[in-house]
Amino acid sequence: MTHAEASGSHTGGNTVDVSTLVEQARQGRPRAVARLISLVEGASPQLREVMAALAPLTGGAYVVGLTGSPGVGKSTSTSALVTAYRKAGRRVGVLAVDPSSPFSGGALLGDRVRMSEHASDPGVYIRSMATRGHLGGLAWAAPQAIRVLDAAGCEVILVETVGVGQSEVEIAAQADTSVVLLAPGMGDGIQAAKAGILEIGDVYVVNKADRDGADATARELNHMLGLGESRAAGDWRPPIVKTVAARSEGIDEVVEALEKHRAWMEEHGVLDVRRRARAAGEVENIALTTLRGRIGDLRGDQHLDALAERVATGTLDAYAAADELIAGLTSS
């Protein structure tokens, strides 16, 4: 697969041949992969058909999430990891989740050519996705986009998230392994404690380790991880790796740490547990989105108006009204 940052087709209102698209994606054709992800992002009416076709083809990819404060070098680190995995012969997919334009909803950085050194590599697929205002640093369509890349034969999928402070922890729910990046001189030790990322990291990377304060940052992080420990014998203890991603220094050690964590998860059954939890969250989100849509359709509905009037006049409490509303939705 080649770099297809700008090749996402506009689906418009046209119906597409999903089975043909899926077969082309399995063959590694970037336009087919781009079109499928565009169907996901656009919440196409054919999305259910797409997901049904992809389901039997997924489950083989190793999903690595990278998060951290803005400026720590997430894109540079992601690019260096792509290079390392390609040297090992792995096919790699990258979802780079960008901030959304408040006007168009598109990715502010989406028209920037990212990781251009991989542009001509047929074993790499890179896609920017907009958060569209979704908190948590991830695009709402990211779980389905991950499935597309998985089905398309990507053995490793790197999900680079927006650094959004305290809500960036959502990456832990979407990745098999979560990598938290920090850098010296950015107050990251304090920020890490505030953001709660000490609870979600499986591997910690102190990037820009050629700067003053890198050793101190690593020591502080190690101390804070020790304070928060309540691990039994055999539990995973997150390693701390120092890198200079711009020069690819320490990247092999990061890959080694990732492989060790994957092996540990497989040995202890943690990988299956995480993937089941991820699937449960995905199902729940789809169900809630569907219910919200149905409730939205009731705006101006006589039944909802009647319930609202009774709540406003104090003849019915809001919880009882909600129960009645849900009962009506589920029985219809």
Count other C-beta atoms under 10 Å from residue 273's C-beta.
Answer: 11
Asked whether the beta carbons of 113 and 146 are under 8 A apart, the reply is no
Rounded distance, CA 75 to CA 115, Å?
Answer: 8
Residue by residue, DSSP assigns 86-134 as HHTT--EEEEEEEPBPTTT-SBTTTTS--SGGGTT-TTEEEEEEE-TT-
Read off φ and ψ for residue 126, nearest 5 degrees: -120, 135
Which pLDDT score is estimated for 41? 84
Look at 132 and 255; give whichever has higher pLDDT. Answer: 255
DSSP 176: S
**Cα-based distances in Å from 291 to 109, 221, 287, 298:** 32, 42, 6, 11
What the block records as the tokens of 330 is 């589920």
Rounded distance, CA 202 to CA 187, Å?
Answer: 21
Which pLDDT score is estimated for 121? 87
**Cα-based distances in Å from 56 to 17, 241, 274:** 18, 36, 19
pTM for the structure as a whole: 0.83
Contacts of 307 (CB under 8 A, 6+ apart): 316, 321, 324, 325
**Radius of gyration (Cα) for the chain, nearest Å?**
22
Count other C-beta atoms under 10 Å from residue 313's C-beta.
Answer: 8
Extended strands (E) in 183-227: 203-206
pLDDT tens for each residue of 23-79: 999 998 999 999 999 998 888 889 899 999 999 999 999 999 998 888 889 989 999
Read off φ and ψ for residue 228, nearest 5 degrees: -90, 5
Rounded distance, CA 318 to CA 213, Å?
Answer: 54
What the block records as the tokens of 93 is 């997919």
Mean pLDDT of 160-181: 73
Average predicted confidence (pLDDT) for the chain: 81
- Is 68 in a helix, a strand, or coil? strand
pLDDT tens for each residue of 160-169: 886 655 445 5
Q: Comparing 56-65, 121-130, 167-176, 312-321, which segment has the lowest mean pLDDT?
A: 167-176
Asked whether the beta carbons of 25 and 51 are under 8 A apart, the reply is no
Which pLDDT score is estimated for 16? 83
Mean pLDDT of 288-297: 79
Cα 66 to chain centroid distance, Å, stands at 9
Read off φ and ψ for residue 181, nearest 5 degrees: -100, 140
Rounded distance, CA 159 to CA 77, Å?
Answer: 12
Q: Comparing 4-18, 74-88, 195-209, 248-262, which segment has the lowest mean pLDDT?
A: 4-18
Q: pLDDT tier at 328 (50, 70, 90 boundaries)?
A: confident
